[in-house]
Amino acid sequence: MDTPDPSQLVDDVEAQFTLDAANLLAVTRAFLEDIRTGLSKYGHVPMAMVPTYLTEIPNGAEKGTSLAIDLGGTNLRVCEVEFNGDRTYSSHQQKYKVSDEYKLGEATALFDYIAECVHTFLHSPSLESSSVYKKCCSGHIDHTHPFTAPVQIALAFSFPYEQRAINSGALIRWSKGFAAKNAVGQDIVKLLQDAFDKKKMSVECAALVNDCAGALVARAYTSGGCDLATIFGTGTNGVFVEHVNKVTKLNDDRDLRMIVNTEWGAFDNDRKHLPKTPFDLKLDHESLNPGGQAFGKAIAGMFLGEVARNAFLSLVDAGALFGGKLSAQMGTQWGFDTELMSAVEEAWAGVGAHAPMAVGGGLGGEIPVRMDDGKEGTDGPAVPPLSSLVPGNESISSDQRAALDRVRSVLIAHCGYAENEVSLRDAMIVRRIVVAIAQRGAQLAGCGVAAVLVQMGFASHLRGESSSDVEANGDVKAAEVERRINMGVDGSLIEHFPNYERSLRSALKLLVGEDVESRLGIGMGKDGSGVGAALCVLQAQKDAARFS
């Protein structure tokens, strides 16, 4: 039996992550179908299309001071944000650790702890000059003084829930290591409000906000408006502003617009359209939620590194990578993460060459945001073929050798291999697989954005199809089809990963055309869980009245 050609093995793995126009169009078409099904019916597609009951989109003129709680990970954050009415704001915040005792214990204990953190924050000496402190303590500098006026607060809740009103929503399931008992199916706001009331705190939870909806609101405030927002980071999601009469499951024909939360991480959980390489399937089978969050597992930063590691394992097993040797780290689940993928690309381009950059924080320092300027960073030297990397007889340029040496240094520093165990050829293979997986993720992200643009009417149809094949949102006026489109973004991939925006935009050009893509402005909607949520408090009273 012939021994497989190592170069051919690498080509075959790389090809499995390559998507053509037909693949991307099929994914986008299915995405659009699920958007419309989710807007018309409850529970028929995994992508829930959750109405947020947020209809007041900021324009930057909002003034006032409000509070937000951000619950979604190891730390709980309480923020006070002052909006100046000129698209600027200032904020003060404090973090509090959420122990496993609260994450895994009774839900009432968790929400009692949240209330205690808010109480501590409101009576902090550093807050004594704020308008919120003066309101709740009548200006008396007495940390034991009871609140004498109600204070409204927003809860930014980064777990799946079914929204029932601007200030009501039922928890669907916990994630991110939380499993507090007797919470699933319960109204999250009521659990929090009961905790406030138990402590006799005059604090009212006025808004329940998803972090992606918060990103849209935050972007709208700082830029004067926003049409859609996405998160491409550790996790992923998308929201957009839709006509209420298009959300037919609400049975509301009023001339209003509302932010709709797609919860698109769950798109195509049965994988009829998304890629399903052996490396993706292995990740899914070994995950905490097999069969769930299929789109998220294909594009989110939490998972891309593990997909890459699975691909590397197959090449190690075939003897095509690292001389067939598996380091302890590379052999461990999550042992190669997306930060390292970013580090490989940065090293190739000669930026931050010897240390991974911060994708979510951890291994390296932050770099300037590269948004909407057409300059996605340096590509680095031309990529040499593997055949030019014969040990001892490499026919590569000095720039190529320097780039490969930098990639090799990252692998040695962070993947558990000794210097003599990583060759320039290994560095080239790793870099090729990393690029293929990252590009595929950004292209699939583009499918989600393209489907939303068609649904909103900014694109009349997908390229290669007539408007009768994929009908756009008929309520959008022709003038809107021509205007600038404002998309807020948040997340470590879109903010930091080299060439991510470029790949996403390339997919959009293919799917909806260069005219639509060129009108899409992409800007950071930072801190949707803090700034965005706090801003929703200012909007909440109007929204609550509309749907009461």
Where does the pLDDT of residue 136 fall: very low under 50, low under 70, confident under 90, or very high at 90 and above? low
Percent of the chain at pLDDT > 90 equals 71
Give the Cα separation of 548 and 542 in Å (integer): 10
Task: Specify whether the backbone of 299 is left (phi greater than 0), alpha (psi in -120 to 50) or beta.
Answer: alpha
Q: What residues contact 130, with CB distance under 8 A and at least 6 apart?
A: 65, 80, 82, 92
Predicted confidence (pLDDT) at residue 389 exceeds the cutoff of 50 = yes
Q: With contact defined as beta carbons under 8 Å apart, do 534 and 67 qualify?
A: yes
Mean pLDDT value of segment 172-181: 86
Q: Write out pLDDT tens, residues 210-221.
A: 989 999 999 999
Share of the chain above pLDDT 70, in %: 86
The DSSP 8-state label assigned to residue 187 in this structure reads: B
Write down the pLDDT at residue 461.
85
Beta pairing partners, 171: 161
- Please determine, for residue 415, whether its predicted confidence score (pLDDT) is greater than 70: yes
pLDDT (mean) for 321-329? 96
User: Residue 376 pLDDT more than 70?
Assistant: no
* Residue 534 or residue 547, greater confidence: 534
Q: Can you tell me the mean pLDDT for 409-432? A: 96
Q: Which residues is 94 bridged to in the sheet?
A: 78
Among 226-235, 248-257, 326-335, 533-542, where is mean pLDDT lowest? 533-542
CB within 8 Å of 180: residues ≥ 6 apart: 102, 103, 104, 105, 106, 107, 109, 110, 174
pLDDT in tens, 335-361: 999 999 999 999 999 875 443 333 332
In this predicted structure, the answer to whether residue 464 has a pLDDT above a threshold of 90 is no
Q: Kindly write down the DSSP assignment for every residue of 388-440, as one continuous string.
A: G--TT-----HHHHHHHHHHHHHHHHHSS--GGG--HHHHHHHHHHHHHHHHH
Q: With 70 as the cut, is the pLDDT of residue 466 above it? A: no
Superfamily of domain 53-209+527-547: ATPase, nucleotide binding domain (3.30.420.40)
pLDDT band at 422 (very low <50, low <70, confident <90, very high): very high
Domains of the chain, residue spans:
6-39+268-356+376-439, 53-209+527-547, 449-523
Active-site positions?
158, 173, 211
Q: What is the mean pLDDT of residues 198-217?
A: 93
Does the predicted TM-score (pTM) go above 0.85? yes
pLDDT of residue 525: 87
Q: Of 267, 300, 236, 347, nearest to 34 (Cα)?
A: 267
Round the average pLDDT of the chain to a whole number and report it: 86
Report pLDDT digits (tens) over 66-113.
Answer: 999 999 777 899 999 999 999 999 999 999 999 999 999 999 999 999
